[in-house]
Structure 1
Amino acid sequence: MKRFLFSASCLGLLALGSCSQSAETTAAEGDTATGSAPTNTEAGTMDSTGMSGDTASANATGGGAMADPNGPTAPHSDDPTFMMSAAHSDQNEIQLSKLALKKGATGMAQQHANMMITDHTKSTADLKAIAQKKSVTLPTDMDAEHKAIAAEMEKLSGKELEKKFMDQMVVDHQKTMNTMAAHQKMTKDTDLQTFITKTTPVIEKHLNMSKEHAGMM
């Protein structure tokens, strides 16, 4: 009888040890799963692009980061950054348009490309005059994102090229509209206020035409 009781006690201790080990393993697995999930702070650091790839502030937009180019875009951190981004934006449209024409874009895409070159060249001249007054050196080339897009367009031709070009015009002009609206609320510079007020209707016209033309392709 004593031998039986001793054996039962041993079995009980073994069972408890097994349960304890199982609980520790479960807790450890739970900690691992929890540790792999991003915190709210980490999730809030995701970027959203503005005029030409600037980082958007989630706080300024009243929400989290946005991947949707049609969503609101935070203002640039300061006026020189805005001017450099706006210059990149002009070059993005001018050079992608020249590429589309070089590769034989026709019809609506051809007309749109010619309009982009004319209007964004004028915008560049207006912005350059402001930048010179404020000793800001503007970029004269596309940003890295649009250089990559240009490389993709180089591989296309015909309707595929035209569709790619028009879709990109929609995305770019929506971002530019969002950023100009946001920065106009922030900047105290009267020259930039005037520039944004003058340029916004042109960008809006481009956006509406881009949507219309892209939808017909």
Structure 2
Amino acid sequence: MKRFLFSASCLGLLALGSCSQSSDTSAAGADSATGSAPTNTEAGVMDSSATGGMSGDTASASAAGGAAMADPSGPTAPHTDDPTFMKSAAHSDQNEMQLSKLVLEKGATGMAKTHADMMITDHTNSTANLKAIAQKKNVTLPTDMDAEHKAIAEQMRKLSGKELEKKFMDQMVIDHQKTLNTMAAHKAMTKDTDLQTFITKTTPVIEKHLTMSKEHSGMM
């Protein structure tokens, strides 16, 4: 859920992202990281097209009615509207799925492989759930990573072994924390019952991803 939950890979799961370096980060989503310290810019900025994850702005988690695991210091402002949120969540899912596929292609093993497999499965489910909602509302969802995560992917392609796996796990922590924050904020803002249900359903998955990402990252 990188931001699709699409966090948050993830929302779409996540979509909500990435299933958003976004902090580099949702669908969460997400989010969504490195042998060296990851940079903070993934899943959630008000306009997901710029950061590609489910990101948020600067409101506090409590003000947004945030989830229990939301980081009060992280981005938590809701997206400007529901279509923007859905697109961000979809990016978040793609971020997590495609980064996971990358590390698997490069021979990830152990915890990293297990985590990548889980990201692909869960964020694929999130994407399917989000897609059904988007079709009802005539919203076209992105089917690729956001620009920031494409850049992260390029960095990861230059790495291998434990260095690659560490960067991947660190990115998963970033992405899913931002996705979780943003989902909580948007749930408090949106009046759309379909999206509220989606976020409610996706949030526990993003929380699980975040917890496991932190545990795995700390063990590498």
The two structures have a TM-score, normalised by structure 2, of 0.71
Indicate the residue corresponding to 1:180 in structure 2: 183
Equivalent residue pairs, number: 164
Q: Would you say 1:134 and 2:128 are equivalent positions?
A: no
CA separation of 1:73/1:199 partners in 2, compared to 1, >3 Å: closer, same or farther?
same
Structure with more relative contact order (C-alpha pairs < 8 Å, separation 6 or more): 2
Per-residue CA shift, 1:129-157, capped at 9, x if unaligned? 00000000000000001000000000000
Q: Would you say 1:170 and 2:161 are equivalent positions?
A: no
Indicate the residue corresponding to 1:97 in structure 2: 100
Indicate the residue corresponding to 2:146 in structure 1: 143
The residue type paired with residue 123 of structure 2 is H
**Greater gyration radius:** 1
Q: Is the 8 A contact 1:53 1:145 kept in 2?
A: no
Per-residue CA shift, 1:11-54, capped at 9, x if unaligned? xxxxxxxxxxxxxxxxxxxxxxxxxxxxxxxxxxxxx9772352
Percent sequence identity over aligned pairs = 80
The residue type paired with residue 169 of structure 1 is M
Q: Is the 8 A contact 2:60 2:73 kept in 1?
A: no
Indicate the residue corresponding to 1:54 in structure 2: 45
Point out where structure 2 has 5 or more consecutive residues left out of the alignment.
1-21, 27-42, 47-55, 62-70
1:71 CA drift (Å): 1.7
CA separation of 1:69/1:144 partners in 2, compared to 1, >3 Å: closer, same or farther?
farther
Indicate the residue corresponding to 2:127 in structure 1: 124
1:73 CA drift (Å): 1.5
| SS of alignment partner, residue 139 of structure 1 | coil
The two structures have a TM-score, normalised by structure 1, of 0.72
Q: Would you say 1:110 and 2:101 are equivalent positions?
A: no
Point out where structure 1 has 5 or more consecutive residues left out of the alignment.
1-47, 63-67
Match of 1:71 among 55, 74, 77: 74
Q: RMSD in angstroms over aligned alpha carbons? A: 1.9
CA separation of 1:70/1:125 partners in 2, compared to 1, >3 Å: closer, same or farther?
farther
The residue type paired with residue 182 of structure 2 is T
1:61 CA drift (Å): 3.6
